[in-house]
Amino acid sequence: MKRLERKHPLAIRWFHWINFPILAVMVWSGLLIYWANAVYRVGVGKHTLFKMTIPEHLYEKWHIAFRLGWGLSFHFFFMWLFAINGILYVLYTIFSGEWRYLLPDRRSFIEAIQVTLYDLRLRKEPPPQRKYNAAQRIAYTAIIVMGLGSLVTGLAIYKPVQFAWLTYLFGGYQMARFFHFWLTIGYVVFFVVHIGQVVRTGWNNFRAMIIGYEVHEVPNE
């Protein structure tokens, strides 16, 4: 026997799917900007594991090179859409009560470890799964905090004199740029894991993000 469960409110589905292309444009235009000064690396001390850059011919091939002006123009257009959509989403979760399913609580951090172990097949018993499991709660809350981080570090780079106090808070102009960059890498990592988990969880779960409802098997009475 099956039953239908309402999972994602219409508003959250819209916020989610609107955010996806906007964030994609922000990352792409950010890459056009980063190209002009691609200085970051992964390493310890003077030892560089790898540089956060791609070969010159790929910059050319993917039309990233020499498009800083375009990158900035797109960035300063889509930043508004990113911010507005994000703020509306947060307000919606607050006023609808959806935040209750999204915010981690005291147990979440322990449970998130259980989720991770289970997903990595190091643990047999499934962890408690409510609408969102503990790892999801942490991830979906963290991504909002990251979004806020991108907005404020972005502002700190965008107006480092008018908002000098903010830039100072992040440790100066170059540090603000550093955080702004690594937050973006964080989105890319989130995206890869998110897609992996969605594929793993299957069609029913994915479809719920489009239609709002999920089909559940219930034992016959």
Rg (CA), the chain: 20
The CB-of-160 to another protein minimum distance in angstroms stands at 5
User: By the 8 A CB rule, do 149 and 177 touch?
Assistant: no
The CB-of-215 to another protein minimum distance in angstroms stands at 6
The smaller minimum CB distance to another protein, of residues 101 and 191, is found at 101
The smaller minimum CB distance to another protein, of residues 178 and 191, is found at 178
Backbone angles phi, psi at 5, to 5 degrees: -120, 130
The smaller minimum CB distance to another protein, of residues 110 and 215, is found at 215
DSSP code of residue 131: S
Tokens 């006023």 sit on residue: 95
The smaller minimum CB distance to another protein, of residues 138 and 177, is found at 177
Burial group, residue 29, by CB count within 10 angstroms (0-12, 13-18, 19+): buried
Binding site for another protein (CB under 8 A): 1-7, 10, 17, 21, 33-34, 36-37, 39, 68-70, 72-74, 76-77, 80, 97, 100-101, 130-131, 159-162, 164, 167-168, 172-174, 177, 207, 210-213, 215, 218
In whole angstroms, give the CA distance from residue 63 to residue 73.
16
The CB-of-51 to another protein minimum distance in angstroms stands at 15
The CB-of-89 to another protein minimum distance in angstroms stands at 17
Q: Please, where are the H alpha helices in 108-202? A: 108-119, 134-158, 164-169, 173-201
The CB-of-67 to another protein minimum distance in angstroms stands at 8
